[in-house]
């Protein structure tokens, strides 16, 4: 068995509407799909979304394909149970992933840069077949390859990375500090509360990664 980490990239024209809404909302950061299934064209998933529930719920309520959903708030975000009908694009993506020995290993990371990152485990020939069957308008890129069964973890998101870089550039992390959170918000073009939340989450993810990789 082999494992591969892949990134699925969309254009503005091919991205699913719910994913596009996550990308466009400053109150939503990323979504981790932790489980799900697809039966007869209906997808049922459970996910954790980093962000505020109200903007996400407004995206769901506007979609005819959404059959039902339930949201439970938690620290740093909320859990979402969602059932929806898949359109032709969603079914094409599932067909590409549905090779004989291939398993999609959660979590599946839905990112704010119009990409999805996930881990696949299976025989080499079937993993190769997945990469060769990307639907039109969707890009499949291999991020890493492993010779055994493994999974990848999620690091700092692109939105968090931009916030951390902006904070660094305006002097937020200098000692003594040259600029406050207001300057970071101005650099990002967002509310102070949004900038503060992005920095807090980005710092937490970055520190966690350093501690995991350290001695």
Residues 192 and 111 in one domain: no
Distance CA 20, CA 29 (A): 12
State the pLDDT at residue 159: 79
Residues 124 and 178 in one domain: no
3-state secondary structure 54-71: HHHHHHHHCCCCEEEEEE
Residues 15 and 119 in one domain: yes
Number of independent structural domains in the chain: 2
Query: Residue 198 pLDDT more than 80?
Result: yes
State the pLDDT at residue 133: 83
State the pLDDT at residue 183: 92
Helix-strand-coil split of the chain, %, nearest 5: 35, 35, 30
Residues 62 and 100 in one domain: yes
Distance CA 206, CA 40 (A): 40
**52-56, 120-124, 202-206 — which is least confidently predicted?**
202-206
Residues 121 and 177 in one domain: no
Residues 139 and 164 in one domain: no
User: Is residue 183 assigned to a domain?
Assistant: yes
Residue 189 structural domain: 158-213
Query: Residue 212 pLDDT more than 60?
Result: no
**96-105, 186-195, 202-211 — which is least confidently predicted?**
202-211
Whole-model pTM?
Answer: 0.70
Strand, helix or coil for residue 122? strand
State the pLDDT at residue 123: 92
Query: Which of 19-33, 76-90, 145-159 is the most confident on average?
Result: 19-33
State the pLDDT at residue 106: 83
> Tens digit of pLDDT for each residue in 69-115?
999 998 778 999 999 988 776 766 777 788 889 988 888 899 988 99
Mean pLDDT (the chain) is 85
State the pLDDT at residue 154: 56
User: Is residue 153 assigned to a domain?
Assistant: no
Alpha-helical runs (H) found in the chain: 17-24, 53-61, 88-97, 124-132, 158-170, 181-188, 192-213
User: Is residue 175 assigned to a domain?
Assistant: yes
């Amino acid at each position: 068995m082999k494992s591969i980490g892949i990134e699925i990239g969309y254009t503005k024209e091919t991205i699913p509407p719910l994913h596009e809404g996550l990308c466009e909302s400053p109150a939503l950061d990323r979504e981790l799909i932790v489980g799900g299934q697809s039966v007869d064209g209906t997808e049922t998933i459970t996910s954790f979304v980093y962000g505020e529930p109200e903007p996400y719920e407004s995206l769901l309520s506007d979609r005819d394909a959404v059959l039902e959903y339930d949201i439970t708030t938690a620290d740093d975000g909320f859990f979402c149970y969602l059932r929806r009908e898949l359109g032709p694009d969603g079914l094409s993506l599932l067909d590409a992933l549905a090779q004989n020995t291939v398993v999609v290993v959660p979590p599946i990371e839905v990112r704010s840069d119009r990409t999805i990152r996930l881990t696949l485990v299976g025989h080499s020939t079937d993993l190769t077949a997945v990469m060769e069957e990307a639907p039109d308008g969707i890009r499949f890129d291999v991020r890493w390859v492993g010779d055994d069964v493994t999974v990848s973890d999620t690091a700092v998101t692109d939105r968090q990375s931009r916030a951390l870089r902006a904070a660094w550039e305006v002097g937020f992390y200098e000692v003594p500090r040259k600029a406050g959170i207001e300057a970071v918000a101005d650099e990002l073009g967002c509310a102070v509360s949004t900038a503060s939340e992005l920095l807090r989450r980005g710092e937490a993810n970055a520190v966690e990664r350093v501690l995991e990789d350290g001695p």
